[in-house]
Amino acid sequence: MARIVLKFGGTSVGDTDRIKNTANRIIDEKKKGNQVVVVVSAMGKTTDQLVNLSKEISAYPSKREMDMLLSTGEQITISLLSMALAEQGHPAISFTGWQANIQTENIHGNARIIDINPKKITNHLQNDQIVIVAGFQGVTNDSEITTLGRGGSDTTAVALAAALKADKCVIYTDVTGVYTSDPRYIPHARKLGAISYDEMLELANLGAGVLHARAVEFAKNYQIPLEVCSSLVRESGTIIEEEVTVEKSLIVRGVAFEDQITRITIFGLKNGFKNLSSIFTKLAKQNINVDIIIQNQTEGENTYLSFSIKNDDLRDTIEILEQNQESLGFDNFEYESGLAKVSIIGSGMISNPGVAAKMFDILSMNNIEIKMVSTSEIKVSTVIEEKYMIQASQVLHTAFELDKVELDVK
């Protein structure tokens, strides 16, 4: 008997018909003799609607109360899905994050899971019940409700799969798998049969919305094979695993893009590296995620520093810089919003020089100015003006032959 974890996203449970449909897919898996644990998201756009409700009351609500609010979304889905399964004659039981013993660190809005005690779930599985767990939420050791960051239900599913030593984890979503780029914007994007954890991690971190990055991290750390497929269309999806036989000539396997980026530039930073660490420590303490960092030492001891953040963190970042200007020791700072990040990803880059050069060349041929660059072994990211984001992604997708090359499907 196999133990499996299935995760259904918001679209798959968007209304009561979809919930009934999802119940049928779960029953199919149960009938194969599997022990089934299900993780669900909030129905449709519920989380967005809850965020909008809070904005009607407060522009900057407390993060604790936001978690209290947003965690209700998933609670609606788990109970309705459990009812739908019972209605079909399949006993099920729903649990919130805290009932399922999903322990997180003490951070609101973006908590990491630190431990899961699966005893309660396994007891119910042994009683032949289907167990349904609310995604995206957990509890701190002093009983505070936390959420895992937008898209975090994927991480709940993979973390549960690890804790339950599940045989596999399937993420059902509104797309049929992982694509070479976002098919809603890049018409020639193609489905990948398989992709490695590392490539997927880069893609997820770089804004490909299909999987929560931490879910991929968990899957890699615990070597859990993941499958991403559609809950609506019955066709094979994308397998995410350690080693993927990459089509040899394919150096780049994905183009990712992300909007709402702001670049901050700090001028006249004194005292070089000491103040550099103070700045980033202060930002980290406020949970501000700094992405690309460029530091440049000019005459004497003066340094200028640029870094990119998400637009959402701009207000907090400005506040920190203004309040600490003297102790951090810099002359002034400015910021530029309306930016986007466009990246190319592929394990093939490790052994093929000249990929970054080709990317810059293509952007320059299209008169797209590159404002920042960062690289890793398997990706190159550029920050450009937001208005060029889709065009840049499209030309890169074509230039790196992702429009037409036949990819190896397992």
Residue 144 CA to residue 368 CA, distance in Å, equals 47
Choices 93-101, 149-157, 240-248, 285-293; region in contact with ligand ASP by CB under 6 A: 149-157
Partner interacting with residue 44 (select from ligand ASP, Mg ion, none; CB below 5-8 Å by kind): none
Nearer to ligand ASP, 52 or 88 (CB): 52
**Within 13 Å of residue 1, how many CA atoms lie on the same side as its CB?**
10
Nearest to 341 by CA among 280, 294, 275, 385: 385
The secondary element (H helix, E strand) that includes residue 59 is none
Residue 134 CA to residue 117 CA, distance in Å, equals 15
42 part of the interface to ligand ASP, by CB under 6 A = yes
10 part of the interface to ligand ASP, by CB under 6 A = yes
Considering only CA atoms, give the Rg of the chain: 23
**Minimum gap (Å) between residue 198 Cβ and Mg ion:** 20
Nearest to 198 by CA among 254, 150, 271, 146: 254
Nearer to ligand ASP, 132 or 383 (CB): 132
What is the amino acid identity at position 56?
E
Choices 149-157, 238-246, 312-320, 383-391; region in contact with Mg ion by CB under 5 A: 149-157
Inter-CA distances, 89 with 85, 93, 269, Å: 7, 13, 67
Number of residues that bind ligand ASP (CB under 6 A): 12
Q: Are 253 and 263 in contact (CB under 8 A)?
A: no
**Which of the residues 104 through 143 are near ligand ASP (CB under 6 A)?**
135-136
Residue 399 CA to residue 28 CA, distance in Å, equals 43
41 part of the interface to ligand ASP, by CB under 6 A = yes
Nearer to ligand ASP, 47 or 181 (CB): 47
Nearer to ligand ASP, 4 or 39 (CB): 39
**Which of the residues 200 through 229 are near ligand ASP (CB under 6 A)?**
none
Nearest to 249 by CA among 405, 32, 92: 405
Of 14, 118, 152, 177, the one binding ligand ASP (CB under 6 A) is: 152
Partner interacting with residue 177 (select from Mg ion, ligand ASP, none; CB below 5-8 Å by kind): none
Binding site for Mg ion (CB under 5 A): 9, 151
Contact set with ligand ASP (CB under 6 A): 9-10, 41-42, 47, 73, 135-136, 150-153
